[in-house]
Structure 1
Amino acid sequence: MKLELRGITKSFGPLVANDHIDLVVEEGQIHALLGENGAGKSTLMNVLFGLYQADAGDIAIDDVVTTFRGPGDALAAGIGMVHQHFMLVPVFTVAENVMLGHEQTKRGGFLDLDAARERVRELSARFGFGLDPDAVVEDLPVGVQQRVEIVKALARHAKILILDEPTAVLTPQETDELIDIMRQLKGAGTSIVFITHKLREVKAVADVITVIRRGKVVGSAAPTASEGELASLMVGRAVSLGLNKTPAVPGEVTFTVENLTVLSPTGQAAVDDVSFSVARGEILAVAGVQGNGQTELAEAIIGLQVSAAGSIRLDGRELRGLSPDAALGSGIGFVPEDRKVDGLVLDFSVAENLVLDLYDKSPYARGIALNLPEIRRNAVQRIDEFDIRTQGPAEHVGKLSGGNQQKVVLARELSRPLKLFIANQPTRGVDVGSIEFLHRRIVTERDSGTPVIIVSTELDEVVELADRIAVMYRGRIVGIVPSATPRDVLGLMMAGVPLADAIDQTNKSQSSDTTPTTDDETGKTL
């Protein structure tokens, strides 16, 4: 089945999310839609799937113009969509989720679960998914849940499958398995629209690459194009994808966490008996699939989460139990996971946001009054130093791009003497060019002798920045390893495999030798 989008335009008030976009997906083709977060990729696919109505333009299936008034129309036309955040009912079985929304009944009006089970078995066997129809979804690993979403679409006879950022919550091994599945689907004649911002994956699986920037198609490329060429199309200028940093020279260990436990609102251990340390002049990256306790760990250090047990010490001082304001005052710089919710006041100016945690202290305050000239002077200096693209210090920070908003947060946190710097998802929603700049600034802070903790679900970012990597799974640290640890080992650890077993499994699966890996906690070569 051939899909064609002709001049699709979609606006939200003054924001033009899609601007006269043309796109053709041929039958049995994997067509990658590449672009930064906020480029308009997901909006375009939501228009295609009937979740949004286009302001202008047409959708054509096999050269016939079609109108979708909702997802039901798209499904009936043979279009399925796997959303970035799965649309599954956790307490239902695989078969129940697959039949949900188009339930079949048997005599007497009862649901025909046997037919749903058989359909799951059939599709699972055809593509090697290994799904148990009676498994409860909440008990399945994330990668298997994604297969359930794909089977849901295929069970409704989808000929075109939209995958929206499908690897965002997957381990490297699960990503490889998904790529194999995409190739199998392509071989069976299914067309795939693969939405992503990850260059490595696009090059691995795409037949055609279309690049979107600020709501417009800015070019197309073959998968043979270099990552640098693709990044340049995404950003609109040449960028450097590599980070040249000298090896760390760790100094004194000044930050330690011992036996820390943080409970979730349901009483479960979101952080479960975690211990680690960070020395001056090194970056410890906390890696893992999102939702395994990394955010709770970072927020517990700064006082945003109440810890149930354990110790958090900086320069010998106990931080556990301090308020966020007191923790910041002890010399911690903190970049939160969601800058718009926890990092910025969007209706405040750039200048005001740059002193949010210092506005009541000299030189930004004179008694009970703000020192407005000094606040403006600081803003002018930080705007220049951090290359913040803004109309000036008085502009509302909410009007800036995501990358420039993130620069404001980092500029504020890195512009005072620090004893510890923590950044949770430091480049989420940031364009490639800004990532390059922000990474350099983080390394500069390390080189000044500050202990640095980075929390990131982007494995490329973890490997690029880290001197050591702590991998978390279900609230516990599986192991702490050097940054040179093979990606396959890291991926297995992210799935909960202990370090020694991950190394053993990787060695058995590779014919070539691998470099011995050292457990930084024991000093033992494994």
Structure 2
Amino acid sequence: MQCALQAVGINKKYGALVVNKDINLDIIAGEVHAVMGENGAGKSTLMGMLFGLIKPTGGTIKLKGKDVSFSSPLDAIAAGIGMVHQSFKLFMSLTVWENITFGSEPTSMGLIARRQARQRVLELARQHNLPIDPDATVGKLPIGMQQRVEILKALYRNADILILDEPTAVLSPSERDGLLATMRSLADNGKALVFVTHKLNEVMTVCDRVTVLRKGVVTERSLVRETTADEIVTAMTGREVSKHLDRPSANLGDDALVVEGLTVGPSSKPLVDGLSLTVRSGEIVGIAGVAGNGQTELANAITGIGEMASGRIRINGTDITALSVKQRRLTGLSFIPEDRHDVGSVWNMGADINVGMGSLEKAPQSRRGIVDRAALREKAKRLISAFSVAIAGPTTKVGNLSGGNLQKLIVARELDYGSPVLVVEQPTRGVDVGAIEYIHRVLLDERTNGKAILLISSELPEILALSDRILVMYEGKFVAELDPRRTDEREIGFYMAGAKEKGRSENAR
């Protein structure tokens, strides 16, 4: 088979920091090639070099056997390389066909040939079995369909090589299965796919080969059919990672978090529609749902970041409905937000300041109203070590971190705060398998220590492994309450898609 894209002895350094060292990677037409590694292993940097976002320090990139040098992603796109980013690059107010053809529209007499553009999109969708309404507004589409637009956008530009960066992170089970089937179909039709992911089950399901990075070097190259998930994990982490989570029986205490009749958004179409729920001390309540069904608005309303139209919220009996974000935190609430960049951190400040956020006024972070930077640095060092955050030092700006390492730093900060109630939103999104194991164990330890945890996650294995009760959310309402010991991903996915309401008491107890 033809080698479509090669990295030969690729190196990338930032000063004394070596991010990639002597990387060799062969991407073959007709295959799905997984690239795996822990956060900070160098995956994103390598993909950035292949797509023209980053200039290599040394080595060669070959396209169909010929040396190439990309000065920007436009060069890579022109050469037939497309990239579907984890954060979609779409215009939400434009239609599907406008997004797909943007910048490369067919024209007639100097004007965009709208009918021709729309027809090309329809033909492309049919050709690749990716049906979509070309006239739909992208911002109104489900996440899975928005991702389909991204793929079609690359294919419209004649991409023979597709780089997919964590493409299943926000998808429902049915959307995930549909994407994996699409990937397989594209490969079978001669496309070369690079699949960057942390999800071993997906690699074992759809991929032909896997390359594993650890600390910037390749530690394994294998045919998927000739390796195992355990061998891949060992190559990623350098150790064995336990798959078994010991979840002791819940020792339930009093009501810690109580939400009554919470509504967010206009009465004509609320984003959160009169929800009530209770989380008791020593309990993890998991909320499952496809992204965009009100989970983020629910979390923001509870924490005070977002507005609410009506309802009441109490923490350990104290009404916090009218309190500010800071006051809610002082009352006993910690929050791990979904948006780790704009909500969870200050990207242009150091790790020390970021781990101190929310507690800068407390000793030992401050003394007599003055921030103690030395104490902050020591705290940052402690949390960086405990969560294995790949960072140059405690004063390094967090904007330089990979998404997974930034997530680990935020999780470390919020768990270290010691609140009796935790709202935890997508705690392991984009996080490597070793860190997932650690975060899960810490959350279960917090539960054992009597914390009340509201867990919002699109990762159904995570919901099933950690939750004492599962609430499924659809279009702003809870449509099912399930016992994790008596359900599975298939049933949860059924309700996530909007199936008939099942098994909820009035206050989700």
TM-score (norm 2): 0.84
CA distance in 1, matches of 2:143, 2:383: 43
CA distance in 1, matches of 2:250, 2:98: 52
Deviates more, 1:290-299 or 1:205-214: 290-299
The count of aligned residue pairs is: 498
Q: Deviations over 1:282-325 (max 9, x none)?
A: 10122333444333322322323332211001233211111233
Once the two structures are superposed, the pairs formed by residues 176-325 of structure 1 within 5 Å of their partners are 176-224=177-225, 225-263=227-265, 269-325=270-326
Match of 2:34 among 26, 32, 54: 32
SS of equivalent residue, structure 1 residue 193 = strand
- The residue type equivalent to 1:169 in the other structure is V
CA distance in 2, matches of 1:246, 1:21: 44
CA distance in 2, matches of 1:355, 1:118: 54
| 2:489 aligned partner | 487
Q: Deviations over 1:483-521 (max 9, x none)?
A: 242212222433444445xxxxxxxxxxxxxxxxxx243
CA distance in 2, matches of 1:23, 1:130: 33
| 2:113 aligned partner | 112
| 1:65 aligned partner | 67
Once the two structures are superposed, the pairs formed by residues 69-88 of structure 1 within 5 Å of their partners are 69-88=71-90
SS of equivalent residue, structure 1 residue 330 = helix
SS of equivalent residue, structure 1 residue 436 = helix
CA distance in 2, matches of 1:299, 1:241: 32
CA distance in 2, matches of 1:439, 1:102: 46
| 2:136 aligned partner | 135
The structural deviation recorded for 1:210 is: 0.6
Match of 2:48 among 43, 46, 49: 46
| 1:508 aligned partner | none
**Is 1:387 matched with 2:386?**
yes
CA distance in 1, matches of 2:405, 2:33: 30
Identity among equivalent pairs (%):
42
Structure having the higher Rg:
1
CA distance in 1, matches of 2:130, 2:383: 53
RMSD value, Cα: 3.6
The structural deviation recorded for 1:388 is: 5.3
CA distance 1:16–1:492, shift in 2 (3 Å) = farther
SS of equivalent residue, structure 2 residue 144 = helix
- The residue type equivalent to 2:236 in the other structure is M
The structural deviation recorded for 1:203 is: 0.8
Deviates more, 1:170-179 or 1:226-235: 226-235
- The residue type equivalent to 1:212 in the other structure is L
| 1:432 aligned partner | 433
Preserved CA contact (<8 Å) 1:4 1:59: yes
Preserved CA contact (<8 Å) 1:307 1:320: no
**Is 1:95 matched with 2:97?**
yes
Preserved CA contact (<8 Å) 1:204 1:223: no
| 2:9 aligned partner | 7
CA distance in 2, matches of 1:370, 1:111: 58
Preserved CA contact (<8 Å) 1:254 1:315: yes
CA distance 1:408–1:191, shift in 2 (3 Å) = closer
The structural deviation recorded for 1:195 is: 1.4
**Is 1:146 matched with 2:147?**
yes
Q: Structure 2: where are the runs of 5+ without partners?
A: none
- The residue type equivalent to 2:395 in the other structure is H
Q: Quick one: higher RCO (CA 8 Å, sep 6+), 1 or 2? A: 2
- The residue type equivalent to 1:396 in the other structure is T
The structural deviation recorded for 1:218 is: 2.0
Q: Deviations over 1:5-64 (max 9, x none)?
A: 112233445544433321101121111111234433233223222233323222212211
SS of equivalent residue, structure 1 residue 230 = helix
SS of equivalent residue, structure 2 residue 309 = strand
TM-score (norm 1): 0.82
The structural deviation recorded for 1:269 is: 4.4
CA distance 1:150–1:390, shift in 2 (3 Å) = closer
The structural deviation recorded for 1:214 is: 3.0
**Is 1:423 matched with 2:424?**
yes
CA distance 1:126–1:415, shift in 2 (3 Å) = closer
Preserved CA contact (<8 Å) 2:285 2:469: yes
**Is 1:396 matched with 2:400?**
no
| 1:461 aligned partner | 462
Q: Deviations over 1:394-443 (max 9, x none)?
A: 94375897778766655655567643222233334543223222222211
SS of equivalent residue, structure 1 residue 44 = helix
Preserved CA contact (<8 Å) 2:39 2:405: no
Q: Structure 1: where are the runs of 5+ without partners?
A: 501-518
Deviates more, 1:133-142 or 1:312-321: 133-142
- The residue type equivalent to 2:157 in the other structure is R
CA distance in 2, matches of 1:268, 1:75: 41
CA distance in 1, matches of 2:384, 2:42: 30
